[in-house]
């Protein structure tokens, strides 16, 4: 065993490896409850795979932005991280709505779906991150 080698740190700093780890983990976690029941429905499986792909990308971008925030401590990066995490929430809601495991939650007093609230929050956080002026 070589001294100074940390496999966890190597996996985190190597973005392709981090992407592969996240992809395998998400597919392994979601294959039984989400993918397998719909494998025989061709029109539905493609829609589900699209959402799983989006979920993998949003989780990867969230992880990379968390690592960037830990490195820099910048408020701009923190706002962008919160935006990516909000997008992860939207993708989870969309995935489970596509598999019909979850009915889209609507806020009755204003007749707005919860996913739309998350999207508005995400856009607001990204906008604040872009417009934030570091001094």
Decide if 126 is inside a domain.
yes
| Lookup: tokens for 58 | 């949003």
Q: How many domains does the chain have?
A: 1
| Lookup: tokens for 11 | 């996996």
For residue 35, the tally of other CB atoms under 10 A from its CB is 15
**CA 82 to chain CA mean position, Å:** 11
Decide if 2 is inside a domain.
no
State pTM to two decimals: 0.82
Q: Check whether 3 has a pLDDT greater than 80.
A: no
Band of pLDDT at residue 100, cut at 50, 70 and 90: confident
Q: Give the per-residue pLDDT at 54.
A: 93
Tens digit of pLDDT for each residue in 22-34? 999 998 988 777 7
Q: Which domain holds residue 29?
A: 9-131
| Lookup: tokens for 122 | 């995400």
Average model confidence (pLDDT) across the chain: 84
Tens digit of pLDDT for each residue in 118-132? 899 999 999 998 888
Listing DSSP states for 26-52 in one string gives HHHHHIIIIIGGGTT-HHHHHHHHHHH
Decide if 95 is inside a domain.
yes
């Amino acid at each position: 065993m070589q001294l100074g080698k940390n496999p966890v740190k190597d996996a985190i700093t190597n973005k392709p490896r981090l992407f592969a780890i996240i992809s395998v983990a998400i597919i392994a976690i979601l294959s039984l409850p989400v993918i397998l029941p719909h494998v025989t429905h061709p029109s539905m499986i493609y829609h589900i795979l699209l959402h799983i792909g989006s979920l993998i990308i949003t989780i990867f971008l969230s992880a990379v932005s968390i690592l960037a925030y830990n490195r820099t401590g910048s408020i701009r990066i923190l706002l962008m991280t919160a935006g990516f995490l909000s997008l992860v929430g939207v993708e989870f809601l969309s995935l489970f709505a596509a598999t019909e495991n979850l009915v889209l939650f609507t806020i009755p007093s204003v007749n707005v779906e919860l996913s739309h609230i998350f999207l508005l929050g995400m856009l607001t956080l990204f906008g604040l991150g872009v417009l934030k002026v570091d001094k």
